[in-house]
Amino acid sequence: MKIYKYPNNDTWKTLSERPVIKQNTLDEIVSGILYEVKSSKDKAIKNLTKRFDGITIENLKVSRSEIENAESLVCTDLKNAITVAKSNIETFHLTQNTNEAISETMEGIQCWRKNIGIEKVGLYIPGGSAPLFSTVLMLGIPAIIAECKEIVLCSPPDKNGKINPAILYAANLIGISKIFKVGGAQAIAAMAYGTETIPQVYKIFGPGNQFVTKAKELVQQSGIAIDMPAGPSEVLIIADNTGNPEFIAADLLSQAEHGADSQVILISDNEDIINQTSKALEKQLSELPRKEIATKALENSRSILLENLESCFEFSNTYAPEHLILASDNGEQFISSITNAGSVFIGNYSCESAGDYASGTNHTLPTNGFAKNYSGVSVDSFVKKITFQKLTAKGISNIGPAIEIMAEAEELYAHKNAVTLRLKSLQNV
């Protein structure tokens, strides 16, 4: 990680840039994949899987027997851990499932909203070198709480043409059975347009690499909703003199190992913390199984020394990190300084890994600065809110004259007439 000392505010925007693939190349590749799937459906999925992954897939849908067999392939300790995570995630997300009160805006006028689960949703679960079975819980549990009627799950198969058993186990545990062996941009296309085997959905969820993210952005233009532009993972750590360099280094590496296009940022007003963390990074990196991936991610990462903590939080809000860690014994006192972040971890013992797996909050979060205008996934992400209203005779009498005046001012006389007819009918009662 390159160290920047007291960079001028004018350079903050540049220092906040994420690593990206050239957009022209990315757009061209992903657009081609989307078109191929939309045109040739299952045939395209199989061809693309063979082309990109070197795997021949005959049956795209995971069979019931494959799901049942997965249970025997997952060790007891992992099953128990998944159960703990499931319980905490359910507990936290159930608090979001609330009914809104009826509001009487004026005598005789009642207005309210009702949450309705989106009927068909698609969940993308990254696989490859790091199959994210935890994401099954993070997306599947709020979808089930929201009472979505159809949940479709897509995940890339391994070299043997199988989905990781932990992914299948987690899906089965929470009640998801429509699972398909397809990954990358082609999975997004399949859920967006539908194929002979894979159902079309109304909204697509899930993190992924830049190809997956670009595919989600492009299908959104076709009217398919997405959760957010969730791309490569990132973390920003603000550390003061009470931060623990060993912990900080471990947290940086926990994000760096996600992928070569991940990014980690350390900001501090204490040069010793930065220097000690750099040493801890070197030591821990040398012992990391995914050292090569983490090393590439660190090439796109940086440590930044600023004058004071106020500046640290100003930079963080400019960067708008997916994950923000406050490596400090006094982290809670800075909560009011945070305006842009996907999820915040307060204190030296609040490692980001807790949120990734089992504390209860959702780990599907906005990246690439989108924390400025997006929230992380929640039960709300899986529902649409329909407004209702009921006007009595008294209600239309109370509000009618105001509506007539406003409609006439906008020269929308049919609008006015809809009210006038009702008011006249009441005069004859």
Q: Are 210 and 59 in contact (CB under 8 A)?
A: no
Give the 3-state secondary structure of residue 113: strand
Number of Cβ atoms within 10 Å of the Cβ of 298:
20
Tokens (6 digits) for 193 = 């347009």
Who has greater pLDDT, 23 or 403? 403
Q: What is the pLDDT of residue 259?
A: 83
Q: What is the pLDDT of residue 21?
A: 60
| Residue-by-residue DSSP string for 217-264 | HHHHTTT-EES----S-EEEEEE-TT--HHHHHHHHHHHHTT-TT-EE
Percent above pLDDT 70 for the chain: 98
Cα–Cα distance for residue pair 427/229, rounded to 1 Å: 55
Tokens (6 digits) for 99 = 């009914």
Cα–Cα distance for residue pair 276/26, rounded to 1 Å: 38
Q: Helix axis angle, 245-256 relative to 291-299, nearest 10°? A: 100
- Which residues, in sequence order, are CB contacts of 389 under 8 Å at separation 6+? 109, 110, 111, 112
- Which residues, in sequence order, are CB contacts of 92 under 8 Å at separation 6+? 360, 361
pLDDT in tens, 196-205: 999 999 999 9
Confidence of residue 99 (pLDDT cuts 50, 70, 90): confident
pLDDT in tens, 332-371: 999 999 999 999 999 999 999 999 999 999 999 999 999 9
Q: Are 366 and 342 in contact (CB under 8 A)?
A: yes
Q: Judging by DSSP bridges, how do beta strands 383-391 and 109-117 pair with one another?
A: antiparallel
Number of Cβ atoms within 10 Å of the Cβ of 143:
28
Tokens (6 digits) for 85 = 């995570």
Q: Are 62 and 152 in contact (CB under 8 A)?
A: no
Whether pLDDT at 23 is above 70: no
Active-site residue flag, 415: no
Confidence of residue 429 (pLDDT cuts 50, 70, 90): low
pLDDT in tens, 102-118: 999 999 999 999 999 99
- The DSSP bridge partners found for residue 226 are 204
Whether pLDDT at 235 is above 90: yes
Out of 322, 352, 363, 404, which one is annotated catalytic?
322
Domains in the chain with CATH codes = 2-19+232-360 (3.40.50.1980), 23-226 (3.40.50.1980), 392-427 (1.20.5.1300)
Whether pLDDT at 129 is above 70: no
Q: Are 148 and 382 in contact (CB under 8 A)?
A: yes
Active-site residue flag, 258: no
Q: Are 1 and 295 in contact (CB under 8 A)?
A: no
- Which residues, in sequence order, are CB contacts of 6 under 8 Å at separation 6+? 305, 306, 307
Amino acid code (one letter) for 390: K
Who has greater pLDDT, 316 or 20? 316
Q: What is the pLDDT of residue 127?
A: 84
Q: Which of 181, 277, 197 shows the shortest CA–CA distance to 237?
A: 277
pLDDT in tens, 135-148: 999 999 999 999 99
Confidence of residue 246 (pLDDT cuts 50, 70, 90): very high
Q: Which of 206, 104, 112, 97 shows the shortest CA–CA distance to 151?
A: 206
Cα–Cα distance for residue pair 153/132, rounded to 1 Å: 13
Sheet harboring 103-106: ordered strands across?
103-106, 109-117, 383-391
- Which residues, in sequence order, are CB contacts of 8 under 8 Å at separation 6+? none
Q: Are 358 and 81 in contact (CB under 8 A)?
A: yes
Tokens (6 digits) for 76 = 């007891």
Give the 3-state secondary structure of residue 323: strand
Confidence of residue 22 (pLDDT cuts 50, 70, 90): low
Out of 323, 352, 363, 404, which one is annotated catalytic?
323
Q: Judging by DSSP bridges, how do beta strands 323-327 and 343-346 pair with one another?
A: parallel
Q: Mean of the pLDDT values across residues 309-314?
A: 97
Q: Are 84 and 92 in contact (CB under 8 A)?
A: no
Cα–Cα distance for residue pair 21/372, rounded to 1 Å: 22
